[in-house]
Amino acid sequence: MTPQTLAAAFAVGLVVAIAVFLLVTSYNAVMALRQRIDKAWSNIDVVLKQRYDQLPALVSAVRGLMAFEQNVLTDVARARANYSPTEPIPDQGVHAEEMSRAVRSLFAVVEAYPQVRSDANVLALQKEIERLESMIADRRELYNDQVYRYNARITTLPTLLIAPLFGWRERPFFAAQAEETARPATDL
């Protein structure tokens, strides 16, 4: 084998090695992204479940003190009943938002009842649910960011070339409802 042949073989080998490296790294990156998305979703699910478990205690604590606001409590109970961890993620997103809205309405009404607001048990529950709401918001943002990165990766080179081979498809976002993103009505 002549030196020129060896040099040509070296050049081809190096280019092939770089191409294989890029493909293997891209494959591993997509696998890692899928794991991160699943983990991010599990982390949301944990907090949704905690909120689901905490709500009955809050409703029980305020029920006796807010006899005239049964419709607010009914909304919370209805929203809670819609929660199902086996639903598709977009549906869970919608129901989670419904529950958040019902809880926010409940807290707004609680503000109008000084005797409820000053109850230590209600205060503690309210604080805990607010903490969970904040965690859900943060983790939803994290999940959506992770899904965005995954979707961007499988639709750009070099991963785009191997995505059809492995059947990688875009993942859904944990989206807010349309009415939440609509421009608020203003009457100036």
Contact between 170 and other proteins by CB under 8 A: the answer reads no
Shortest spacing between CB 141 and other proteins, in angstroms: 8
Residue closer to other proteins (CB basis): 66 or 132: 132
Tokens at residue 10, please? 């070296």
Contact between 33 and other proteins by CB under 8 A: the answer reads yes
Q: What is the rounded CA–CA span in Å between residue 107 and residue 117?
A: 9
Among 23, 77, 123, 135, binds other proteins (CB under 8 A): 135
- 73-132: which residues touch other proteins (CB under 8 A)? none
Asked if residues 174 and 92 have their Cβ atoms less than 8 Å apart, the reply is yes
Asked if residues 143 and 37 have their Cβ atoms less than 8 Å apart, the reply is yes
Tokens at residue 50, please? 């905690």
Distance of CA 16 to the CA centre of its chain: 40
Q: Where are the beta strands (DSSP E) in the chain?
A: none
Number of residues that bind other proteins (CB under 8 A): 32
Nearest-5° Cα angle at 130, 182 to 125: 140
Among 109, 133, 153, 162, binds other proteins (CB under 8 A): 153
Among 65, 77, 107, 149, binds other proteins (CB under 8 A): 149
Tokens at residue 65, please? 């003190």
The piece of 69-77, 82-90, 95-103, 148-156 that touches other proteins (CB under 8 A) is: 148-156
The piece of 38-46, 66-74, 99-107, 109-117 that touches other proteins (CB under 8 A) is: 38-46
Q: Which residues contact 113 (CB under 8 A, 6 or more apart)?
A: 65, 66
Q: Of 96, 82, 1, 3, whose CA–CA distance to 41 is shortest?
A: 96
The piece of 9-17, 57-65, 122-130, 177-185 that touches other proteins (CB under 8 A) is: 9-17
Q: Note the residues at the interface with other proteins (CB under 8 A).
A: 2-4, 6-7, 10-11, 14-15, 18, 21-22, 25-26, 29, 32-33, 36, 39-40, 43, 46, 134-135, 138-139, 142, 145-146, 149-150, 153
